Structure 1
Amino acid sequence: MSTPESVADADEDSSPQGRNPIVERPHTPLLRPREVMRDFGGTYVVNGIVGLIFSASGPVAVILAAGSAGHLSAAQLSSWIFGVFVLNGILTIVTSWAYRMPLAFAWTIPGTVLVGASLKHLSWAEVVGAFLVTGALILLVGATGRVRNVMAALPTPIVMAMVAGVFLQFGVDVVKSVGTDPAVAVPIVVVFFLLQGHTAVARWMPPIIGAVLAGAVAVAITGGFHLGDDGSGWVATPVMQAPEFSTRALLELVIPLAVTVIVVQNGQGTAVLNAAGHRPPVNVVTMVCGVWSMAASAVGAISSCLAGPTNALLVAGGERRRQYTAALTFGVLAIGVGLFAPLFVDLMLAMPAAFIATVGGLALLGALQNSFRSAFGSGFTMGALVTFLVSISGLTFLNIGAAFWGLIAGLAVSWLLERDDFRAARQE
């Protein structure tokens, strides 16, 4: 007699992907509520809570730092956070339930950093227009059923060199914060690295969460917490933003944003789930990211993606067939955070600038390290170097930012000088 686990394995092995390569069908019949409740357990609830705490700490600080660079109002930031938590929480619940695996959706962090740089010379309406077009492009790519081909067409080292260039300034900002406000920044940095060096402690206190708590204590001691009273209330009121379509914004943002979603973020999320024994529906994931990105743009929220770090936390323990309940937990809690986005934003903005810059930078430190490793650890090294240098240069040509030109320049150099690497990649 087969166990539920073996039945699930058999379902996955038979995989409807072979019969319909474009739209991977969910498991049928769909689980009933009492079956879902039976699969819940302490391990999965805790993993879901940890995943939510991770998403609501460092990654949110990245949004606030990017928004501050573009002088977005508290209402616009609240709407952004409402969109990325509530909408992606709903998407997480629906897809995880339908496919019986953890499919936690969040937002593209590299894209957020990229937008922060673009907001220095683009209007918010232009950026929202780019969000909408990016979602349409992602949906189109997913509908072709050629997502894996798209991922393979762009050499990973060149893409990751662009990501490293985009992330670098956030790492530098950590160092600057230590110099400008050491009383706040130093405790955050020290606690972060102490927890990084003690694996046993880090299992129950992730370094970025410990850093946030240390920073909160430091801010309280130094009296740096200044909560305003704007009367906006605690419950989110989404701000509907009419998009503006400008050539410079579309050329500067759409391709890099789509690349970070499809290749970087979804690629990372897919790899995490594959390593845990799941078979995520790659084409469906891409298409729903496109649809949700278009919906999120209406409230000024950045593109959706399959979250790599969050999914890694959700599959950290328990039986594989029950891990989807950790994603359900994450989704429900994410909706709660999004609904109270104004309160959350007010609390974060009441912190000193050094708190947000330091936490945001440390949250990206591991990603920055992995970006350098992926960019310069194998082939396409000259193309990756050119991509990185152009991406950090601040170059603006034809009103298009440096990240886009970094990709173009790196691909051109690799095509001229590293054709053997292209041939080797095609043979893998």
Structure 2
Amino acid sequence: MLRHIERPTEQLPGLGRIVSDFGLLYASNGFIGWLFAVTGPVAIILAVGSNGGLPEPEIASWIFGVFFFNGLITLLLSGLYRQPLVFFWTIPGTVLVGQSLTHLSFPQVVGAFYFTGLVMLVLGASGWVKRAMQLVPMPIVMGMVAGVFLRFGLELVRAVFADTIIVGPMVAIWIILSAIPRLGSRIPPIIGALLVGAVAAILPGQHDSATLQFELIRPVIQTPVWSVAAMVELVVPLAITVLVVQNGQGFAVLGAAGHVAPVNAVTMACGLGSVISAIVGGVSTCLTGPTNAIVVSSGEQERHYTGAMFVGCLAVLFGLLAPTFTRLLLLSPKSLVMALAGLAMLRVLQSAFNAAFNERFSLGALLAFLVTVADVPLLNVGAAFWGLLAGFAISWLLEKPDFATETK
């Protein structure tokens, strides 16, 4: 089965070659890409974990898993293939888990993480990835994703009214940095929002920094519970968010920059990363789109891999110090975390709506969206799965011409 795995076209670069290819430009791109990952996306993990009733050590262990192990995979594959291949975790999958934690235990969710990783390993090793990615039309998938993400947009609006002193300036600076590209290229909007929000939280004395201490991670090993309901509810949607939504975006970003990513090798790496991260409660691994986009945004194509490797090094260090950063954000006002997560999701939510309701499969996408937003579990299986199923079924019955167009 491993014959389908793409072989590297060049020898593994030595330390001297990596150092000579590295430079300030690639370091800055890598740093900004990493900084993006540790702001809004981490806030999403904190929001999901806190709302799901997870204690602080388990949330820190989750963050450790998705940074430390994925950082190592990033270092290995970026060097092996001499390409920018940054791996982190599935953001829509994380939000999906938040819905599941309302009626499933965390060990049951972890069991689904393991099984999802095994599915991706098989798909990558067999070369079936492209076929699997085409089973469910993208607009229907994005309709489900939009339904899952909508809650974060609503929480952002509620946070503005509930804590205007902190969230108001965050939204204002995010709009300013987004509206003025010259400023936004120097300070990414989400990072500007974090800095302003932190200052706004400290000034009124709402942030208790006295209890903050640097601390290395002590991972919490999770014992999975094998639940049929959790498998049915999470495995297929999680695999789709990784293979179709996240990896698809990552492949598109890299392709636009002239890189030909090893699809099957990346899929196997996602499967392996998912299984390893699940040991400490981490959600499924994916090839990231936004961070890779930042890494390849400038510089020479053949040197982009060094920026990705720098991201991997920073991710490993961040994972080791996960308890410190977890406590820092958990000590912050809840409105700051929710606003940060909401701002990070705005563009993604916009893209999800555009992809869902652009042209084909729009009725199926709408039904997938409505069923997911309704959030009514059936047979102890969450709404996201039924949204996908309902959207596919209605399109199959009422939008048959769109399937004909899809196969051309």
**Structure-2-length-normalised TM-score:** 0.98
1:398 aligns with 2:382: no
Q: Structure 2 vs 1, CA of residues 30 and 344 (structure 1 numbering), >3 Å: closer, same or farther?
A: same
CA–CA distance in 2 between the matches of 1:275 and 1:117? Answer: 34
What do the CA deviations read for 1:39-62 (whole angstroms, capped 9, x no partner)?
Answer: 011110100000110000000000
Shift of 1:409: 0.1
Q: What is the match of residue 144 of structure 1?
A: 126
Distance across 1 between alignment mates of 2:322 and 2:3: 39
Answer whether contact 1:235 1:342 (CA < 8 A) is retained. Answer: yes
Q: Distance in 1 between matches of 2:11 and 2:344?
A: 40
Q: Indicate which of 375, 398, 412 corresponds to 2:393.
A: 412
* 1-structure distance, mates of 2:341, 2:17: 39
2:17 match: 35
Distance in 2 between the 1:261 and 1:21 partners?
23
Among 322, 328, 331, the alignment partner of 2:303 is 322
Q: Which range moved further: 20-29 or 38-47?
A: 20-29
Equivalent AA in structure 2 for residue 420 of structure 1: P
Q: Tell me how far 1:227 sits from its aligned partner.
A: 4.6
Return the alpha-carbon distance in structure 2 between the equivalents of residues 81 and 227 of structure 1: 21
Following the alignment from structure 1 to structure 2, what is the Cα–Cα distance between the partners of residues 230 and 160?
40
Shift of 1:382: 0.4
User: What code does the residue aligned with 1:312 have?
Assistant: A
Is the Cα contact below 8 Å between 2:212 and 2:327 reproduced in 1? Answer: no
AA of the residue aligned to 2:399: E
Tell me, yes or no, if the aligned pair for 2:92 and 2:241 is still in contact at 8 Å: yes
Q: Which amino acid aligns with 2:240?
A: V
Match of 1:278 in 2: 259
Matches within 5 A, 1:40-189: 40-189=22-171
Partner residue in 2 for 1:343? 324
Tell me the residue number matched to 2:345.
Answer: 364
Q: Does structure 1 retain, via aligned residues, the 8 Å contact 2:125–2:264? A: yes
- State the distance in 2 between where 1:24 and 1:266 align: 16
Q: Which amino acid aligns with 1:257?
A: L
Question: 3-state SS of the aligned residue for 2:203?
Answer: helix
Post-superposition Cα deviations, 1:281-300, rounded to whole Å, max 9, x if no partner, equal 00110011101101110000
- Cα distance in 1 for partners of 2:358, 2:67 equals 34
Instruction: Read off the aligned partner of 1:126 and give its amino acid letter.
Output: Q
Distance in 1 separating the partners of 2:212 and 2:290 = 35
Aligned 8 A contact 2:221 2:279 in 1: yes
> Is residue 212–residue 324 contact of structure 2 (8 Å, CA) maintained in 1?
no
- How far has the Cα of 1:229 moved from its partner? 4.2
Aligned residue number for residue 4 of structure 1: none
Q: Does the CA contact (< 8 Å) of 2:10 and 2:82 recur in 1?
A: no
Counterpart of 2:268 (choices 287, 305, 311) is 287
d(CA) in 1 for partners of 2:10, 2:357: 44
Find the counterpart in structure 2 of residue 196 from structure 1.
Answer: 178
Distance, in Å, in 1 between the alignment partners of 2:240 and 2:204 is 42
Indicate the residue corresponding to 1:216 in structure 2.
198
Say whether residues 1:238 and 2:223 are aligned partners. no
Partner of 1:206: 188
Q: Deviation of residue 248 (structure 1)? A: 1.1
Secondary structure of residue in 1 paired with 2:207: coil
User: The residue matched to 1:222 in structure 2 has which SS?
Assistant: coil
1:147 Cα shift?
1.1
Match of 1:384 in 2: 365
Equivalent residue, structure 2, for 1:10: none
Q: Return the match for 1:421 from 392, 397, 402.
A: 402
Instruction: Name the structure 1 match of 2:315.
Output: 334
Query: Could you list the runs of 5+ residues in structure 2 that have no partner in the other structure?
Result: none
| Corresponding letter in the other structure for 2:103 | H
Q: CA deviation at 1:143?
A: 1.7
Q: Check whether the contact 1:183–1:222 (CA below 8 A) recurs between aligned residues.
A: no
Q: Is the 8 A contact 1:27 1:98 kept in 2?
A: no
Alpha-carbon separation, structure 1, partners of 2:4 and 2:152: 38
How many pairs are equivalent?
Answer: 407
Q: CA deviation at 1:29?
A: 2.2
> How big is the shift at 1:27?
2.8
Q: Is contact 2:367–2:390 with CA below 8 Å preserved after alignment?
A: yes
Deviations for 1:367-400, whole angstroms, at most 9, x for unmatched residues?
A: 0000000000120000000000001001110000
Amino acid across the alignment from 2:167: A
TM-score using structure 1 length:
0.93
Tell me how far apart the structure 1 counterparts of residues 115 and 350 of structure 2 sit (CA, whole Å): 31
Query: Aligned with 2:286: secondary structure?
Result: strand
Counterpart AA for 2:150: L
Q: Is 1:305 the equivalent of 2:292?
A: no
Gaps of 5+ in 1: 1-19
Q: SS where residue 323 of structure 1 aligns?
A: helix
